[in-house]
Amino acid sequence: MLPNTFVHLPDIGPVTERELWDSGVHTWEDFLSASSLPDRAERNAGQLRSLVAESQERLDEMDASYFSDALPRNEMWRLYAEFRDRAAFVDIETTGLSPDSSDITMVGVLDFQGYRAFVQDENMEDLRGALEEYDLLVTFNGAAFDLPFIEHKLGRMFAQVAHIDLMFPLRRMGLTGGLKAIEKRLKVGRPSALSTLNGFDAVLMWRMWRNGDKAARDTLVRYNAEDVLSLPKIAEIVYDGLTDRLDVPCAKLEPSDVPDVTLPFDEGVIERLAEMKVRR
């Protein structure tokens, strides 16, 4: 979809991009070889041609931050096909909602090689270096929650990184609600006994682990892994759905193999969680 994109160019919005597509200019290559362009693009053709040529070069160099700067934020999903092999799917667990009064307990990072957990007081200091390996981050509501929370605690680190927050494209597709509700509607992931847990349970599991319940730590990590494992599947659905909606001839996204992540957890933790909630 990215080589079909023109809305990252100055003075080109969705209407002019549509005109280009309707006139047969479907790709950057079409743009550069076209003898004439629709009026609105023709006015500024010289500058646009050089920017389209630059876009081709930047894509050849896999420069995600160039497109991240130029694309409107609600069109970031267009980066997914080209950059998913350089993407990290990220989800954090915390002790509360406010970065001022709460701490990060763990961060789960998934790519197509596997899943890594960065846990407070274990290996959280490795997180920054780990995230620097990626050109693209994919989250659910990460623009408002996960990424600002991480930067609040660990310092600036995402200024140059492209980011797709799946929550907003999902809304455009008519899918509102939290991640778990959307997974259910899309029939994605989470077959395990942990499917009934929510973010507040993650807070409680962290407290249980701090109070000596060793199984709670592994169960928390497993809960987080199940959250991030659904993100690649949802990202594909978003990409395919919004690409279809734009109705422009473009390369189809090949389905990816999400790594098999099987982590141990103790069903006893879920029972102890339920007892804890009854007592509260």
Partner DNA sequence: TTAAGCTGGGGATCAGAACC
Partner DNA sequence: GGTTCTGATCCCCAGCTTAA
CB 109 to DNA: min, Å: 14
Judge whether 232 and 110 are in contact, CB under 8 Å: yes
As a whole number of angstroms, the distance between CA 235 and CA 136 comes to 12
Of the pair 70, 254, the CB lying nearest DNA is at 70
As a whole number of angstroms, the distance between CA 280 and CA 275 comes to 9
As a whole number of angstroms, the distance between CA 211 and CA 209 comes to 5
CB 9 to DNA: min, Å: 9
Of the pair 16, 27, the CB lying nearest DNA is at 16
CB 163 to DNA: min, Å: 8
Q: In what order do the strands lie in the sheet with 162-165?
A: 114-119, 104-111, 87-94, 136-139, 162-165
Of the pair 60, 243, the CB lying nearest DNA is at 243
As a whole number of angstroms, the distance between CA 203 and CA 133 comes to 29
CB 61 to DNA: min, Å: 25
Of the pair 79, 202, the CB lying nearest DNA is at 202
As a whole number of angstroms, the distance between CA 213 and CA 235 comes to 35
DSSP 185: H
Interface residues with DNA (CB under 7 A) are: 10-17, 39-40, 43, 73-74, 91-94, 96-100, 105, 140-141, 143-145, 148, 165, 167-169, 171-172, 176-180, 198-200, 202-203, 227
How far is CA 29 from its chain centroid?
28
Of the pair 2, 104, the CB lying nearest DNA is at 104
CB 165 to DNA: min, Å: 6
**Single-letter code of the amino acid located at 17:** E
> CA distances (Å), 249 to each of 7, 48, 104, 198, 225, in order?
16, 21, 43, 40, 35
Of the pair 73, 245, the CB lying nearest DNA is at 73
CB 18 to DNA: min, Å: 8
